[in-house]
Amino acid sequence: MRTTGPRTPRPRTPRPLTLDPDRTLDRDRAVRAARRRRARGEAVTAWAFIGPAVLVIIGLGVVPLLWSLLLSFRADDLVTPGRWVGLDNYRALGEDPAFRTAVRNTLIYAGVYVPVSLAAGLGLALALNRRIRLVGLYRTLVFVPFVVSATAQGVLFAFIFDPDFGVANALLHHIGISPQGFLDDPGQALAVLLLISLWSGIGFCVIVYLAALQDVPAELVESARLDGANPRQVLRHVTLPSLTPVTVFLVLWQFITALQVFDLVYVTTKGGPLGATTVIVYFVWEQAFQNFTAGYGAAAAYVLAVGLIAAAVVLRVYQRHRRRTGPSPVDGKGVGPFEGASR
């Protein structure tokens, strides 16, 4: 295009009159048809690729979600035909002391689990984020409880905290403290459950924080140090601020995890003693599969879901907001889960 400057007028080529104008039209149409045919072939392939996934996800994700909502407006025992009761299930939940206890227990559980696991996770990650001998071993040991299933944890700790034969009371005995009831004591059971889930849950916070700490730009820390910042100031003004996105993620993630606790409760206390460890999911399970009041259970599940979905939406909105308003050096382009793959 540079050659056709303003001084040299573009040579005008006459229209090729020898070509039949209909033929170009024909060709256009043929090209478009071929493209459409290819697109259709492409769509067929795409649907073949995606069909199984869509079938499973719609059939066992979207349909149950709506069905569950429908159930919550019905009195249904999953066996005989149910009947429509409108909002009665939700009204009854509000007046059910057992449900109120379940909500309270869940909130206490989450209220302790989230801050403690984050604080301990951050502290441990900061301690583990240095090049000393054996640090790999320490990291492994801190993290390994996280891969142990809640069932195995529950069975193991039910033994450790067994009032008669457990090693916990044996150790207390050695230091002269009288035996405790632990999981059999309504005043202690929830605290013991928290201890167990913290044992396994802290490791997750540690590895997420460790991964984030390794992404804190070394130049930033170095230049702060050259400017005369002591280690404490570097931590407070450089390291911690760059961990904020990870902290937001962990708060919400751990909150979601805490609201969904079930396996551990089922294995250790079955909601007891005296309802001291009945959490919402346990309440849902009990209503639907023990008392056969599925509609009531579904309503309770929807109450829980409001909290969970709110947390998930907050997380997504925050992540999207961050991506729009200029990402920090910590997570780079923020296009997906794999930008740190080279780490």
Partner 1 sequence: MSASAMATSATADAVNASGRRTGRRRRLPFSPWHLLLAPLSAGFALPLVWLIVSSVMSDAEINRFPPALWPHGFDLGGYRYVLGNAMFPRWFLNSCVVAGVAVASNLVLGALGGYAFARMRFAGSRLLLALMLATMAVPFQLTMIPTFLVMKWLGLIDTLGALIVPSLVTPFAVFLFRQFFLSLPRELEEAAWIDGCSRLRVLVSIVAPLARPALATVAVLTFLATWNDLSWPLIAINHDARFTLQLGLTTFQGQHHTRWSAVMAGNVITVLPVLLAFLCAQKTFIQSLTRSGLKG
Ranges within 127-186 binding partner 1 (CB under 8 A): 127-128, 130, 132-135, 137-152, 154-160, 162, 164-167, 169-171, 173-174
Q: How far is CA 100 from CA 94, 96, 196, 306, in A?
A: 7, 6, 24, 16
- Read off the tokens for 272: 């007891």
Q: Which is nearer to partner 1, 4 or 151 (CB)?
A: 151
User: Alpha-carbon distance 222 to 210, whole Å?
Assistant: 19
**Three-class SS state of 83:** strand
- Identify whether the C-beta of residue 160 lies closer than 8 Å to the C-beta of residue 168: yes
Q: Which is nearer to partner 1, 24 or 217 (CB)?
A: 217
- Identify whether the C-beta of residue 200 lies closer than 8 Å to the C-beta of residue 153: yes
Residue of 30, 87, 309, 317 interacting with partner 1 (CB under 8 A): 309
User: Alpha-carbon distance 75 to 73, whole Å?
Assistant: 7
Q: Should residue 42 be labelled a site residue for partner 1 when binding is judged by CB under 8 A? A: yes
Interface of this chain with partner 1, residues 53 to 72, rule: CB under 8 A: 53-54, 56-65, 67-68, 71
User: Alpha-carbon distance 291 to 100, whole Å?
Assistant: 18
Q: Which is nearer to partner 1, 209 or 238 (CB)?
A: 209
Interface of this chain with partner 1, residues 271 to 300, rule: CB under 8 A: 281, 284-285, 288-289, 294, 297-298
Among 269, 281, 290, CA closest to 155: 269
Q: Should residue 341 be labelled a site residue for partner 1 when binding is judged by CB under 8 A? A: yes
Q: How far is CA 102 from CA 92, 227, 271, in A?
A: 14, 53, 9
Q: What is the DSSP letter of 305?
A: H
Q: Should residue 30 be labelled a site residue for partner 1 when binding is judged by CB under 8 A? A: no
Q: Which is nearer to partner 1, 14 or 213 (CB)?
A: 213
Q: Is 207 left (phi over 0), alpha (psi -120 to 50) or beta?
A: alpha
* Shortest distance in whole angstroms from residue 6 CB to partner 1: 38
User: Alpha-carbon distance 114 to 314, whole Å?
Assistant: 16
Beta bridge partners of 83: 75
Among the residue ranges 5-13, 45-53, 80-88, 233-241, the one whose residues contact partner 1 (CB under 8 A): 45-53
Q: Which is nearer to partner 1, 203 or 271 (CB)?
A: 203
Residues 232-271, one symbol each (x = binds partner 1 by CB under 8 A, - = not), give --------------x--xx--x--x--xx-xx--xx----
Contacts of 166 by beta carbon, 8 Å cutoff, 6+ apart: 159, 160, 182
Q: Should residue 323 be labelled a site residue for partner 1 when binding is judged by CB under 8 A? A: yes
Q: Should residue 301 be labelled a site residue for partner 1 when binding is judged by CB under 8 A? A: yes
Q: What is the DSSP letter of 230?
A: -
- Identify whether the C-beta of residue 93 lies closer than 8 Å to the C-beta of residue 73: no
* Shortest distance in whole angstroms from residue 112 CB to partner 1: 19
Contacts with partner 1 by CB under 8 A: the residue count is 115
Q: Which is nearer to partner 1, 206 or 238 (CB)?
A: 206
Q: Should residue 318 be labelled a site residue for partner 1 when binding is judged by CB under 8 A? A: no
Q: Should residue 119 be labelled a site residue for partner 1 when binding is judged by CB under 8 A? A: no
* Shortest distance in whole angstroms from residue 220 CB to partner 1: 19
